[in-house]
Amino acid sequence: RTYQILARLELTFKYTSYAQIQEKALAVLHGYTDNVIQSRRKELTKTDSQNDLSENDVGQRKKVAFLDMLLQATTTDGQPLTDLEIREEVDTFMFEGHDTTTSAMSFLLGKLAKHPEVQKKVYDEVRNVFGDDPSKPATLAMLNELNYLDLVIKETLRLYPSVPMFGRKMMENHDIDGTIFPAGSNVIIMPYIMGRDPDYFEDPLEFRPERFAVETSAEKSNPYRYVPFSAGPRNCIGQKFAVAEIKSLVSKTLRHYEILPDFCEEPEKLYSEATLKNEKGVMLRLKKRSSV
């Protein structure tokens, strides 16, 4: 829809074949989410959560699942959220974090394979935090100690943002370099282009995680130069979870395997289907570590 005029406009989109494809796909997705919501609503109706306390629960703050919070939440006027409002929030958490995290993980592992010196630094850091037991479960506190891996994730997302472009609608007029953009204009922001701009990043095509460690990095000097998760009040709601998930998967993988490049490396052919992908995938080899 981004590239085709007739598909982009709501007035004409409904007459295209894309509309039928979208309708069928949404019916499957929404049907699954609605079933989850209705099933959980019935369970909560059967159970009086206020009376569901054991002696061990007294004085402790009870952990509540995200869906339960939505089902029990109310609006400012005291009304419960509608099923549609709940579904929109659940859809965001269930579906928007899958392809994006997969994309980031693929490109990150690919970069570790091509840069063994970076991989060694990450592996050494992982061993310092987790010790020599590869089966040791990760905790959030442990993941937060993986500072160098943080830099590697940022550098990967600079070159390969999971969402290479996203849109925003201007709510008021803006004067940018003498050009007036009226309120209501749709603007496309391209993290992929920004991350490879030499005005923002020195030697932009060089994979150098340490660039994010310095105080003069583009991220710190101007947070709107580095926007793989967008920025401002409408930034990615799952940003911290995504980073923790990537750290958990990478640390687990490196404790068991050394990541090696494919025997036949082919040039990258990137394309976007909402998320950034390589045409032939990211081909890797895994070598089991002798200590495992």
264 annotated to bind ligand: no
The per-residue pLDDT for range 93-148, each reduced to its tens digit, is 777 778 899 999 999 999 999 999 999 999 999 999 999 888 899 999 999 999 99
- Residue 179 in any domain: the answer is no
For 58-62, 197-201, 262-266, which range has the lowest pLDDT when averaged over its residues?
58-62
The Cα–Cα gap between 234 and 237 comes to 8
Number of domains in the chain: 2
CA distances 281 to 97, 115, 168, 246, Å, are 19, 18, 30, 18
| Coil/strand/helix, residue 231 | coil
pLDDT of residue 52: 52
Report yes or no: 262 and 254 within 8 Å, Cβ to Cβ: no
Q: Could you tell me which residues come within 8 angstroms of residue 21 by beta carbon, excluding any fewer than 6 positions away?
A: none
Give yes or no: residues 68 and 145 share one domain: no
What tens digit of pLDDT does each residue of 76-90 get?
Answer: 888 888 888 888 888
Distance CA 145, CA 13 (A): 48
Strands 275-278 and 270-273: antiparallel
Q: Is the pLDDT of residue 60 over 60?
A: no
Q: Sorting pLDDT into bands at 50, 70 and 90, what band is 55?
A: very low
Are 118 and 259 contained in the same domain?
yes
Query: What's residue 245's pLDDT?
Result: 94
CB 161 within 8 A of CB 197: no
In a shared domain, residues 88 and 157? no
Element (H, E) at 269: none
- Whole domain around residue 237: which residue ranges? 101-161+197-288
| Best mean pLDDT range from 27-36, 80-89, 111-120, 184-193 | 111-120
Average pLDDT of span 177-193: 92
**In the block, which residue shows the tokens 């799952």?**
238
Q: What is the pLDDT of residues 141-181, one digit of tens each?
A: 999 999 999 999 999 999 999 999 998 999 999 998 899 99
